[in-house]
Structure 1
Amino acid sequence: MKDFDHLMSVWQGQPAKTQLSVDEVLKQVKKGIRGITGKLYWGIVGMIAITAYTFVVLFFFTFKYWQTYVGIGVILMTMLLYLSLIVRHYRILHKRDHTVNPTEYLKSLKEYQKQRATLAGWFYYIFVMLISVGLSLYLVELLAHSSPVKKYTIYGLTVAWILFLTFYLKRRIFRSEEEKLNLLIDRLQRLENQFEG
């Protein structure tokens, strides 16, 4: 009888499967998406400002070397490509209302997650490489009459900055967003499973 009582107390002590509150999950999802879209929005605003400045430099400043024009052109095209990608990502998250059709919303979140994973993968490295090439070509004229010490110092700092962006900052930026997105998708899937099961 002691064993039975012990088994009953263990069984009753097991946590019951908690039912998720629809309102609470939707509030959390809305808040999480608002945070991600807010970052994307300010990224778009910043990229538009930098792209406009680069456009002005390319077309309204005069340079001696053709490499400078090519470098600035490469930087401008790379920024326009990146701008188009983040605008597309912003639209994916911002255009859908999660209360109208949660299943479609979950699909759009998964689509966004897949596209961001692609961006975090190969495209980020291509982006950094193209910006580096453009910056290197631009610096040829900028540093043409500088001392070798100044040239090596600026090129060294530029390479260090690019390595920092590539190997440290990239992981932090994309990992944080990926964790938030995984949490939101998990909550929506659990909610969906709750109503199916």
Structure 2
Amino acid sequence: MQEFDHIQSLWQSHSIEVKISSEEMLMQAKKEVNSIRNKSILNIAGMLLSFVAVASLLVWFDFQSWTTHAGIFIFLAAIAVTTLMLYRGHRLISKNDFTTHPNEFLVNLKLYQISRFNLYNKLYWIYAIALSLGISLCFVEILAYFETWLWALVILLTFSWMVFCSTLVRKAVVKKEKERIALLIEKFERLASQFKEQA
């Protein structure tokens, strides 16, 4: 037993310092930045696609009620505002090259982090309320054609889906993105300090 304690104390006292070169850290950071940029482009493309899909409802269907038209316009406004916010965030992360202007990029990365925080914590609720209002107005005309049990089921499923997305999915996405951006900021701060030491 004493031998085990002795081995355990040696193991705990032995610390390994992992040094990563500036080049390796820069390559990792470049990969992560490209991943964030690509994800940002996909988000914007998805929002534009949903804008076109919702707008096409006005072309392909002859809605009679003003509430449906108002609901669709509220939908389109919410999608357009969110898309513009996503685009502004994308410009922050992609407007300069981090290999030539690391300090400027670090400032923009911190602004991007704040932008994402605002998107997920403030704008998200405005977006969710607008979508809920738009759906409600659209349902006035659409659900009139359904039987009572069917429109109750549609409303229940829609409400459940929005609650699920607003709680569990949103929290998981926010946590993952927050950790990812914070790690990237930390890497750029370490890179900047390494470059200062080498200078």
Q: Same fold (TM over 0.5)?
A: yes
* 2:191 matches 1:191: yes
Structure with bigger RCO (C-alpha 8 Å, 6+ apart): 1
3-state DSSP of counterpart to 2:145: coil
Q: 1:63-110 CA deviation, whole Å, 9 max, x = no partner?
A: 111110000000000000111111111121122211111111111100
TM (normalized to structure 1)?
A: 0.87
1: CA distance between counterparts of 2:26 and 2:60?
50
1: CA distance between counterparts of 2:15 and 2:183?
24
Q: How much has 1:35 moved relative to structure 2? A: 1.2
Match of 2:42?
42
Runs of 4+, deviation exceeding 6 Å = none
Match of 1:112?
112
3-state DSSP of counterpart to 1:113: helix
Q: Percent identity?
A: 30
2: CA distance between counterparts of 1:134 and 1:37?
30
Aligned length: 187
3-state DSSP of counterpart to 1:77: helix
Root-mean-square deviation over aligned CA pairs = 2.0
Q: 1:97-156 CA deviation, whole Å, 9 max, x = no partner?
A: 111111111111001001101111111111111111101111111111221111111000
Is the 8 Å Cα contact of residues 36 and 177 (structure 1) preserved in structure 2? no
2: CA distance between counterparts of 1:170 and 1:140?
28
Match of 1:3?
none
How does 1:166-185 map onto structure 2 within 5 Å?
A: 166-185=166-185
3-state DSSP of counterpart to 2:77: helix
Partner amino acid, structure 1, of 2:128 = V
How does 1:33-182 map onto structure 2 within 5 Å?
A: 33-59=33-59, 61-182=61-182
3-state DSSP of counterpart to 2:97: coil
TM (normalized to structure 2)?
A: 0.86
